[in-house]
Amino acid sequence: MASEQLSREEFDLLAKLLDVDGEPAYLDELYSQVRGVYISAKNIREIDVSGAEPDMAFIPPTD
């Protein structure tokens, strides 16, 4: 879903679709946080994960 950059217009549209609302100052700060989310996603997409199955959780021994 995430493109590498998230414009304010794209954020506003997504926020509306996700039913996220708030005062302008609140949304400004949220936009900043969401850009951080997108940067993290971009960093992870740059990792070569071919052959790695998702580690949904550390699986502890059960017997």
Residues that bind other proteins (CB under 8 A): 1-2, 14, 18-20, 26, 29-30, 33-34, 36-41, 43-45, 47, 49, 52-58, 60-63
CB of 10 to other proteins, least distance (A): 10
CB of 35 to other proteins, least distance (A): 9
CB of 5 to other proteins, least distance (A): 13
Tokens of 63: 């017997």
Instruction: Kindly report the three-state secondary structure assignment for every residue of 1-40.
Output: CCCCCCCHHHHHHHHHHCCCCCCHHHHHHHHHHHHHHHHH
Residue identified by tokens 């989310």 is 37
